[in-house]
Amino acid sequence: MSTATATTAQAPAPAPVKSAPADEGRIGLRANLRHIGALVRRNALQIKQDPESMFDALLMPVIFTLLFVYVFGGAISGKGNQQEYVNYVIPGLMAMMGLNIAMAVGTGVNDDFKKGVMDRFRSMPIARSSVLIAKIVVEVGRMMVATTVLLAMGFLLGLQIHTSVLGLAAAIALSMAFGASLMWIFILLGLTMKTAQAVQGVAMLVLMPLQFGSSIFAPPTTMPGWLQSFTDYNPLSNLADAARNLINGGPVAHSVWMTLGWAALITAVTAPLAVAKFRKKT
């Protein structure tokens, strides 16, 4: 009896079972959506507490519209033909809004890491992707505000819808979808670069050729041949042409499918990379 008792007493205690780390693969869709909703609310409240963060979305469309219509409109469409140029440039500027809002996402993510906000999120039992998706949802909302201001300015300057309200809605939806895909690129930049200034610097190196080497501001027919070739493959040209034809009338199938294809490709490549970088960033 005593031998048995001693053997039992000397038996090693079973090792404690370690709880599995929180991983988004173990989080159901409903919980994931709940996490995204909570984070969207947090980001929206942050904007409410800092209204100045909306200045770019509210003022940038006004400045760009007035600048391009009254500075470049006469030179491109002829003196006194700014009205015609309004219908050309406003759909193009819808594509430009997505680029500029997307750049702000990258600097915001970088700044959140500097403040330790992202480290706090990563310590919580939530899907890692939900943090980044919530950021994109809020920024798409800011993009919608910027697009609304842009269209309001366009209508004040004489923008006309030659198709239908559905065509306008489709142009807006296409711009939102493409802009959301671009945000993954800038989130990845924000997670990779060391400072927000570096994110802005790299972003401008990417944005400037894409914006001005496109059909956003002027017809490509006035450009040299080598630049026309670049413009043909520029996704911003496809988006601008799609939005322009959805509003003014014209063939839309090719440019719409090209824009959607670019958006899907960009998201498929950069979203997994951004989530993986978010997990590993120290």
Per-residue pLDDT of the chain (282 residues; tens, 9 = 90+): 444 444 444 444 444 434 344 444 466 677 778 888 888 888 888 888 888 878 888 898 999 898 888 887 767 666 666 778 899 999 989 888 888 888 888 888 888 777 777 767 777 777 777 888 888 999 999 999 999 999 999 999 989 999 999 999 999 999 999 999 999 999 999 888 888 888 888 888 888 888 888 888 888 888 888 888 888 889 999 999 999 999 998 899 999 999 999 999 999 999 999 988 888 875
- Helix residue spans in the chain (DSSP H): 2-10, 29-49, 55-67, 73-77, 82-115, 117-122, 128-156, 165-192, 196-212, 225-233, 235-248, 253-280
Question: What pLDDT is stored for residue 3 in this prediction?
Answer: 44
**Residue labelled with tokens 């053997």:** 7
Question: What pLDDT is stored for residue 197 in this prediction?
Answer: 85
Question: What pLDDT is stored for residue 47 in this prediction?
Answer: 82
Q: What is the pTM of this model?
A: 0.82
Instruction: Residue 248: count other Cβ atoms within 10 Å of its Cβ.
Output: 18
* Contact status, residue 277 vs residue 250, Cβ threshold 8 Å: no
* Residue 15 per-residue DSSP state: P
- What is the spatial distance between Cα 214 and Cα 194, in angstroms, rounded to a whole number? 30
Residues 6+ apart with CB under 8 A from 3: none
Residues 6+ apart with CB under 8 A from 104: 56, 139, 142
- What is the spatial distance between Cα 177 and Cα 249, in angstroms, rounded to a whole number? 21
